[in-house]
Amino acid sequence: MKKILVIIMLFVGGLMQAQDKNATATLEVDGVCMMCKMRIEKAALKTKGVKSANWNIETHVLTLFYNDGKTNLETIQKNIAAVGHDTHDFKATDEV
């Protein structure tokens, strides 16, 4: 009986550790064309932990699906600014 109880406790403990760390977010990102779309999405996807990135040309909204255990919105926004696109929190430099 004790063995069964221990096995059940280990199983439940393992399930609690395997929590889903996926997050979704939307960001406003400046851009005007299909080349911008490709550059923005590529910069987001190159960020470790980002699983999906889709930027809408008309609304300028980037929709993200990412693992918040591996990255955060600040890192993603910095990577997007590094390729020349402004976000709400980070501005691209003139050199880019």
Q: Running along the chain, 96 residues long, what does each successive block of 10 average in pLDDT?
A: 53 52 94 97 97 97 96 97 95 88
Which CATH fold topology does 21-96 show?
Alpha-Beta Plaits (3.30.70)
* Per-residue model confidence (pLDDT) at position 94: 85
Predicted TM-score of the model (pTM): 0.77
Q: Where are the beta strands (DSSP E) in the chain?
A: 22-28, 50-55, 61-67
* Per-residue model confidence (pLDDT) at position 2: 56
User: What residue ranges do the domains of the chain occupy?
Assistant: 21-96
Residues β-bridged to residue 50: 66
Long-range contacts formed by 13-19: CB under 8 A, 24+ apart? none
Spatial separation of the C-alpha atoms in residues 20 and 44, rounded to whole Å: 21
CB 40 within 8 A of CB 80: yes
CB 31 within 8 A of CB 58: no
* Per-residue model confidence (pLDDT) at position 6: 44
